[in-house]
Amino acid sequence: MSMKSIGKSRMALGMAGLCVGASALTYHQTYAQQQTESDEEKSESESIQVFLSSEDGSPMDLSSMKVFSGTANLPLSTEIAKHLGVDLGKLQIKTYADGEIGINVHENVRGKDIYIIQPTCPPGVNDNLMELILLVSTMRRASARKITAVIPYFGYARQDRKMQSRVPISAADVCRLLEAMGVDRVVAVDLHCGQIQGFFGPRTPCDNLEGSVVALPHFAGLDLKSENTIVASPDAGGVHRAKHFRDRLKKHHGVDAGLAMIIKQRLRANAIERMDLVGNVEGCDVILVDDMIDTAGTLTKAASELHARGARRVYAYATHGLFNGPAVSRIQSSDIDQVVVCDTVPLSTNAKQCDKIKQISIGKLLSEAIVRIHFKQSVSALFSK
């Protein structure tokens, strides 16, 4: 083959790398082109340089890092890459007629530290999970030095124990699948249960980031007063999460809120028989704190209970906004004043149109975590500021 033919082949290969499947990275390219750099974005970009600099102020070298994205949440991946000041790696992900997933990486990853951003979230939880597994396998077979899976939303996390006979512990099985494919490290955000970190072996560390740190400034700007603010958990299992949220609200924003808890009794999954409130919320502004919102049945029933007990305003915060089934219509017609979620899961069209739902970006937090992991710095220091 002549040198001219080789040049043409390489050019064609580079162009092929701009798309994921039929349209995914083409969508990524269009999405990136549509972003305008406002003054706010410029100031944010300047602040990013703080954690991209070493202790002596010199810029950190990211040449050994490559960031790739699956198709589950391209806007978030694009934002993370923008904060890092790198381009998303070129690859092609396509779905064949029989439903199989095909992956082709269009650049050299040998000896590189690879970061794969792919939440295993709905819609298409199983497709997104298989895509992540194949991406890890592809990078391992291509001789990547180290592979870190950044999983903002960890699918199957609620199936973390045996509640009855003859059922799988699916969260543990997903962890074993990822380990078998050769992942070296996992970064997740607000796992449903912290013990899921232990489902990975000691050679595969799992960082569980706290998404609430990006939401606290929003709630601090709502003119909340210590004497009439309550942070509430919608179930007994989330009391620790609510207490942690309350402590951070006090430490970083000076709002010394009280704590309440709702005890729910379920008939079956996504069906609640009754609720009991522990604590006094009369005349108070209440923030319901949970890790995720699925069909919003628990959330809206909890809000009704709080209003019935005299709450003045009811807000809700959850890291992961799934909004499945009737969730959006339930929230729209509920007693909740506002629901705040992170962008770990892409919002549906209905959720975007709901004026009670506000989405906050977690891209900067994830990019800072990636930098700290890459340069072997403390990740927990992100949450001790």
Q: Which residues are catalytic?
A: 264
> Which three-class secondary structure string do you get for the chain?
CCHHHHHHHHHHHHHHCCCCCCCHHHHHHHHHHHCCCCHHHHHHHHHHHHHCECCCCCECCCCCEEEEECCCCHHHHHHHHHHHCCCECCEEEEECCCCCEEEEECCCCCCCEEEEECCCCCCCHHHHHHHHHHHHHHHHHCCCCEEEEEECCCCCCCCCCCCCCCCCCHHHHHHHHHHHHCCCEEEEECCCCHHHHHHCCCCCCEEEECHHHHCHHHHHCCCCCHHHEEEEECCHHHHHHHHHHHHHHHHHHCCCCEEEEEEEEEEECCEEEEEEEECCCCCCEEEEEEEEECCCHHHHHHHHHHHHCCCCEEEEEEEEECCCCCHHHHHHCCCCCEEEEEECCCCCHHHHHCCCEEEECCHHHHHHHHHHHHCCCCCHHHHCC
